[in-house]
Amino acid sequence: MTTGEDRKRTDDGSEYMNYPQRTLDKLGTVVEGIDFIGPRYIEDQSEGVHFLARKYIRPYQYGLMTRIEGQTTDEALEVLVEDWQDHPLPEVLRLDNDPSFGLYSRHDRHIGRFLKVILNLGITPMYSARSQPWNNGNTEGYNSVFARKFWEKLNFSDEEEIDTEIKKFNLEYEKYNDLIGNNIDPEEVEDHTLPEDFTLPQNYEEDLQANLDDPTIYWLRIVRNNTEKAKKKDKGTIDILGEEIELPKPYVNQFTLNKLRLKDDKLSVMVEDDEGKLETIKQVKMEVENVDFDC
């Protein structure tokens, strides 16, 4: 993401693979991306240092970085809840497939605590395709700035010094974004923040609220033909919550945008056409077994 050659390869590849860029550009008014960074190492210290990056994609471009104790669900939720008391709750949260972000469990058709909390807060998660970090390019770009302007530029003796300097980094990044004038008036998003004394209800980690309007999960997936079953049938497949979904061979190596409406138990597999419109190529009945609308 830091050289012209890489950008050209990414752009050409995304166009060739029908990456649904135009659809994603319209999905959500307030959109934020998050990503774990680490471990990074301080000289003479064996334990790695971890960070959680947050980058607003629209309508403004604020970036935030926080050192965390580890790449866990609890650490991520603690940081995000505190963030959202000062910054707007995103309508769409873009993230990768890290297990701590609630996508994987020991059982198929199950979701984790992180994902339940996000859904209960009225946020729609959008997961990148596996091993495709550029799908969350705004956040990855912010990570690159962090690496060049902070981690690789400064020397640290301990975590306390990191925490002190990272506050300065966040402040400077905020000033930069204010300077280029791409930020909205805070009064416009005041009603979309969490109360200052907000704490997560315990049942947010267990069930989904019955009054949620249309809780939905999105996945970007690339159709592959790399399993024995797929090769034997000459089909393509994608994996959603441990379920292998077959698709016609012409879609192999193409991106799909997959939408699961939890109240309808309906998964729609979609592709973007040449005019930027979504076409549903398959619908599957998919019930998430550990989701109840009781809280």
Could you report the per-residue pLDDT of 15-71, keeping only the tens digit for each? 779 999 999 999 999 999 999 999 999 988 889 999 999 999 988 888 999 999 999
The pLDDT tens digits for 230-245 are 787 899 999 999 999 9
- Whether 265 contacts 289, CB under 8 Å: no
Task: Please give the torsion angle defined by the CA atoms of residues 249, 252, 254 and 257, in that order, rounded to the nearest 10 degrees.
Answer: 70
Which of 177, 127, 142 has the alpha carbon at shortest distance from 27? Answer: 127
- Whether 125 contacts 217, CB under 8 Å: yes
**CB-facing half-sphere around the CA of 187: CA atoms within 13 A:** 0
Q: Environment class of residue 126 by beta-carbon count within 10 Å: exposed (0-12), middle (13-18) or buried (19+)?
A: buried
Fold for the domain defined by 4-205: Nucleotidyltransferase; domain 5 (3.30.420)
- pLDDT of the chain along its 295 residues, tens only? 333 334 343 445 567 799 999 999 999 999 999 999 999 999 888 899 999 999 999 888 889 999 999 999 999 999 999 999 999 999 999 999 999 999 877 789 999 999 999 999 999 999 999 999 999 999 999 999 999 999 999 989 899 999 999 999 999 998 887 776 665 665 555 568 999 999 999 999 999 999 999 999 999 999 999 877 778 789 999 999 999 999 999 999 999 999 999 999 999 999 999 999 999 999 999 999 999 997 5
What is the pTM for the complete model shown? 0.90
- Whether 269 contacts 20, CB under 8 Å: no
Listed in order, the ranges of the chain carrying CATH 3.30.420.10 are 4-205
Other beta carbons within 10 Å of 142: 25
User: Side chain identity at 146, as an amino acid letter?
Assistant: F
- Rounded to 5°, the CA angle 222-213-263 comes to 60
